Structure 1
Amino acid sequence: METRSWWQKLKNNSMARFGATVLIIFYIAVIFADFVAPYDPLAQQPNGSLLPPTQIYWRGADRWRGAEREFIGPHVYPTIQGPIDLDTGRQEIEVDYSRPAPIRLFVRGSEYRLFELSIPIITSLSFDGEITMREQDIFPGIPSDLHLFGTVGPASPNAIAADPTIGEATEGEDAPEAVSISPAYINLLGTDNAARDVLSRLIYGGRISLSIGLIGIAISFPLGLLVGGISGYFGGWIDSVLMRLVEVIMTIPSLYLLVALGVILPPELNSSERFLLIILIISFVGWAGLARVIRGEVLSIKERTFVQASRSMGGRSLHIITRHILPQTATYVIIAATLSIPSYIVAEAVLSLIGLGIQEPDPSWGNMLSAGTNASILVLNPWLVWPPAALIVITVLSFNLLGDGLRDALDPRSLQER
């Protein structure tokens, strides 16, 4: 009989590996959002509201003067909102093709503090491609301004580019004034109605949306496991008292409770503190359903031979519950946990719609998705809706794939194969 470790079985499951890889990438991105995001999520771009995703050019495109240019590498042009077409309702955009701005990795942008500490030594690429070393104090308060990617420049008005390798220009040939005074931004997912970069808000918003489920299960699952295990193992009056308490908690309507909490919470709390407090309270209520299921599992497990043997050898009740009985419920607990984390993410979106979640201007996937309630946004500005919706769907699917893999790997009946 060959014994295979659960870790080996999990690695052999390609779908579980895919789910775990996606989640690792997501969590790394949101943890280091200050570095990964190209812009501050609250920064507004001048004349840049509701811009579509920025088009990236590889060859010079000086359409303003009609000249063709050679390959100059990835770059973008200053873009602002233009007039609205009264016939179609679509907003025209104005592009200054005379001022290309190169796209570079490891560029300097808005200041931030990573984990409230600055990075001691930063290695980056300068604008001319040379490696530079920048030393900073590690004490809080010293900001860092290095971002993963962004644009270099653009040049000042009346100049052609921030990079001398990009074409030639004649002084005095000004681009249209409204465009030339605007810098070039790279908005890979466009901008919202407040002229903020959608990609940056998605990355920062993931901190809230991806941490909600972890906080929820970290509170509700230990309570549900412990109460359900004690109730099912001891039975009698302990079981009756605990189950009556569980039934009372399960009768509390969650929506009305949320509305009541939204009214009584102190108004001076910011949206993140307010929502975190709501999640904490709801988690203390949400363990009841898990406790009932665990109680039923324990009732059947406690009569098995290995439990009776441990009891006859003098094992204490708490030791038997935590070391022998509850581990046997791992299959159900893993499934419940992987389904609960996505449910918290979806709940955050619902709470934002009714005004109890993260509120503007702070970003989260939920309040960004609420833009979809406007029919004109769905038709004219779909880039405001599909990115947060896609991230929620991908995250939920990844958790489910990982949960299925863990269920198969940790199932006690499948740990041994002939």
Structure 2
Amino acid sequence: MAKKKLFGSRKSTAAAAAQRMVLGGLPQEEEELMQSPVRMVVQSFLHDKVAMTGLVLFLVIFLCCIVLPFFYPIELHYQDVTQSNVAPGFGMLKVPSQLQGNAKMISAGSTFSVAIDENGNVYEWGTFPTEKLKNIPSSSEMGKLTQISAGLDHVLAVNEEGKIFTWGNDRMGLANVPVELEAAPQPIKQISAGYQISLVLTESGRLYNWGSAYLMNISVPSEVQGNIAKFDDNTNIVMALTNDGEVVPLSNKASSFTNVPEDIQGDVVDIALTDESAAALTSDGRVHTWGNNVNHSMDVPEDIQGRVTALSAGRYHYTAILDDGTVASWGDNTFGQDQAPHLNGKAASVSAGYYSSYAIMEDGSAKGWGLDGYLMGTDNLGRDVFRRLIVGGRMTMTVGAIAVIISTFIGVIVGGVSGYKGGKLDNLLMRLTEIVSSVPFLPFCIILSSILGNSISEMQRIILIMFILGLLSWPGIARLVRGSVLAEREQEFVTAAKALGVKEFGIIFRHILPNIITVIIVNATLDFATCMLTESSLSFIGFGVAEPNATWGNMLNGAQNGQVIENYWWRWVFPSIALGICTISINCVGDGLRDAIDPKSKER
């Protein structure tokens, strides 16, 4: 009863009706003057276009960062150099219209695809890792191509005369075709542009390879050389299928790939390799797998066993043709690789690449599925910038929000007690406030981070950052609350509360605080943006939330060199836009609330 009524007293229904009857004859201006303060503040804020625009933008970003990570999660330790620095955009699966109806062979590379038609013409589409991939030799030089293969960033092709062509990146000797193949072209049975390596199998069963000798040590036994029917390769090993139906690892180093099941030897008709597992198709149409079951690549669907006629593999998924001409895929589904479409007609061949698959139908049409592109591109470790942006936004906002809650809680208590009590206690608390204000925040955090080093976990580091932000940013709100309490403690409702015997803490936090809560809300809103910027600054200079956790600050940390700024603009543009829009929007909301609560502030 002693509490000051800032927002107007409540009235009964009858009283409200009577008031409406009285106001019925009043001008509109006088009726508006009789509105409650809350309604006036809300209406004033709603009519502030800048503040409302900021509120809408902030809510959109906030909801995206809270909701979308459930649909687009990230694996913290995921890295894939084959997807490094891919530009934003889609269209990696967009088969050229000129190829539809006469497609002969399609091969999917890391982020691009190549194909040839029945006339031996070359087609390329997707996002090219290097501009050299566009330097296709002229048709007059190559003649009619019969086979083509796409690798990480180079292409291998062969014409009907057995002459080999390669373009794209030429590092590690990828352009150095073996002399015996260059000088005396031979009929070619199979080619493969692998991971920084090229392989060619001749009709005579001999395998040739060139390129990087550091990534893969290929050793072909003498009894196997000249007896190879087919081969497949990944980033670790090359495996051969002999004319006798046996699978032979072409490596002297034991690994999970070399543990070929003995019961299938002599009965294998096709092989395929992902980066973590191997699969063999036996004559009864069953698929047998071994290796590491990463992303469920070894979990062959039971309903296709006994029906498979051809097999192909990408990095972590398999694609197969079944006996009725349909296709099936299984394994990693990060980009929809195992979502094989329903095809109109029967598939004549399938080809699985890094993260996509293609099926060529009997009528020459082609259909692709899997990775079609990235909305905001990828970073230097091949991580999706969009996914990290929304997850990083959630982290940045969480750190900022908790820090504001801590600082507001401390500031309200210190400022409230100091302003109400006055005297020596006020003097003591204000000197403490000045001491905390004098602590240089960034140097303090850098020194503390250097001292702690790796002695704490990443989660402990994040909690520490939130508490440090909160513990060092309360002096401003403490002074503001103290000044407001000093003004309010002389009001009549405070005198009445004292006369009724209300305790001091009750007067401060039950009677005075509700009357200055709007000022606290405005200040906390503005502090939220400041804390977000501070966290991003710490992460940007490497002393905040560290990799692999994502925040907007450490996303920008990876883009602080000239090459990234010039060539990979998407790595810094999107995080900086998100951070800029978010902080500006919060400041606009705070300014709008301040103007709505105190209209005279617009005149100052």
TM-score, normalised to structure 1's length?
0.69
Which residue identity lines up with residue 191 of structure 1 in the other structure?
Answer: T
1:345 maps to amino acid: M
The one-letter amino acid paired with 1:308 is T
For residues 352 and 413 of structure 1, do their structure 2 counterparts lie closer, same or farther at Cα, with a shift above 3 Å needed? closer
Tell me the distance in 2 between the aligned counterparts of 1:354 and 1:405.
32
Please name the residue that 1:304 is paired with.
491
Match of 1:52 among 65, 87, 95: 87
Are 1:61 and 2:108 counterparts? no
Distance in 2 (alpha carbons) for counterparts of 1:413 and 1:406: 10
**CA deviation vs aligned residue, 1:287-310 (integer Å, no higher than 9, x gap):** 123212322222222223333343
Separation in 2, partners of 1:263, 1:45: 30
Say whether 1:152 aligns with 2:184.
no
Q: Distance in 1 between matches of 2:499 and 2:598?
A: 23
Any residues of structure 2 matched to 1:16-55 within 5 Å, and which? Answer: 16-37=51-72, 40=75, 42-45=77-80, 47-55=82-90
User: 3-state DSSP class of the match of 2:537?
Assistant: helix
1:216 deviates by 0.7
Unaligned runs of 5+ in 2: 1-33, 102-107, 113-127, 134-151, 156-294, 297-330, 359-368
CA gap 1:412/1:14 in 2 versus in 1, 3 angstroms: closer
Summarize the alignment of residues 55-134 of structure 1 with structure 2, pairs less than 5 Å apart. 55-56=90-91, 60-62=94-96, 66-67=98-99, 79=111, 82-83=129-130
Contact 1:275–1:356 at 8 Å: present in 2 too?
no
Q: Which amino acid aligns with 2:96?
A: D
Structure 1: segments with no counterpart, 5+ residues: 70-75, 87-91, 96-109, 112-144, 156-161
Letter in 1 for 2:515: Q
More RCO (CA 8 Å, sep 6+): 1
Paired residues of 1:352 and 1:366 also in contact (CA < 8 A): yes
Q: Is the 8 A contact 1:39 1:200 kept in 2?
A: yes
Looking at structure 1, the residues matched to 346 and 522 of structure 2 have their Cα atoms a distance apart, in angstroms, of 62
Shift of 1:218: 1.0
Q: Distance in 2 between matches of 1:53 and 1:348?
A: 27
| Offset, 1:164 | 3.7
Letter in 2 for 1:27: F
Secondary structure of 2:456 counterpart: coil
Tell me the SS of whatever aligns to 1:373: coil
Counterpart Cα distance in 2 of 1:242 and 1:39: 46
* Aligned residue runs from structure 1 range 15-414, under 5 A: 15-37=50-72, 40=75, 42-45=77-80, 47-56=82-91, 60-62=94-96, 66-67=98-99, 79=111, 82-83=129-130, 151-153=335-337, 162-165=340-343, 171=349, 184-265=371-452, 267-408=454-595, 411=597
* Cα displacement (A) at 1:14: 5.2
- What residue identity is the alignment partner of 1:30? C
Checking the alignment, whether the CA contact within 8 Å between 1:204 and 1:363 is kept in structure 2 is yes
More strand by share: 2
What is the distance in 2 between the residues matched to 1:79 and 1:188? 14
- Paired AA for residue 62 in structure 2: Y
The SS at the match of 2:88 is coil
Contact 1:79 1:179 survives alignment (8 Å)? no
The DSSP-based 3-state class of the residue aligned with 2:547 is coil
Tell me the CA shift for residue 367 of structure 1.
0.4
User: Could you tell me how far apart the structure 1 residues matched to 2:590 and 2:347 are?
Assistant: 59
The DSSP-based 3-state class of the residue aligned with 1:171 is strand
Tell me, in whole angstroms, the C-alpha distance in 2 between the residues paired with 1:284 and 1:332: 20
SS of corresponding position for 2:473 = helix
Letter in 2 for 1:392: L
CA distance in 2, matches of 1:327, 1:210: 27
Task: Report how far residue 389 of structure 1 moved.
Answer: 0.6
**Alpha carbons 2:84, 2:378 under 8 Å: kept:** yes
CA deviation after TM superposition for structure 1 residue 169, in Å: 7.0
Relative to structure 1, the CA distance from residue 386 to residue 166 in structure 2 (aligned partners, 3 Å threshold; closer, same or farther) is farther
8 Å contact from structure 1 (residues 250, 288) kept in 2: yes
State how many pairs are aligned: 345
Whole-angstrom CA distance in 2 between matches of 1:351 and 1:367: 8
Change in 2 beyond 3 A, CA 1:219/1:39: closer
State the identity %. 32
Distance in 1, matches of 2:582 and 2:396, equals 10
User: Does the 8 Å contact 1:298/1:325 carry over to 2?
Assistant: yes
Cα distance in 2 for partners of 1:396, 1:311 equals 43
Query: 1:388 Cα shift?
Result: 0.6
For the residues of structure 2 that align with 1:319 and 1:302, how far apart are their CA atoms?
13
Q: 1:342 to 1:33 in 2, by over 3 A?
A: same
Does the CA contact (< 8 Å) of 1:213 and 1:344 recur in 2?
yes
State the Cα distance separating 1:312 from its structure 2 match: 3.6
SS in structure 1 of the partner of residue 374 of structure 2 = coil
Distance 1:207 1:240, change over 3 A: same
User: Hey, what does 1:3 align to over in structure 2?
Assistant: 36
Give a deviation string over 1:222-279, Cα, whole Å, max 9, x none: 1111111111111111111111211222222212211221133362423342132122
**Residues 115-170 of structure 1, C-alpha deviation per residue, up to 9 Å, x if partnerless?**
xxxxxxxxxxxxxxxxxxxxxxxxxxxxxx9x9xx743378xxxxxx324589975
- Paired with 2:439 and 2:344, the residues of 1 have a C-alpha distance of 66
* 2:503 partner letter: R
Deviation at 1:191, TM superposition (A): 0.7
Supply the AA of the counterpart residue of 1:163: P
Q: What secondary structure is seen at the aligned counterpart in 2 of 1:2?
A: coil
Q: 1:56 to 1:180 in 2, by over 3 A?
A: closer
More helix by share: 1
Structure 2 contact 418–426 (Cα < 8 Å) conserved? yes
Q: Structure 2 length as normaliser, TM-score?
A: 0.50
- Asked if the contact 1:51/1:93 (under 8 Å) is kept, the reply is no
Give me the whole-angstrom Cα distance separating, in 1, the residues matched to 2:38 and 2:479.
31
Contact 2:541 2:557 (8 Å CA) reproduced:
no
Distance 1:94 1:336, change over 3 A: farther
- Deviation of 1:15 after TM superposition, in Å, equals 4.7
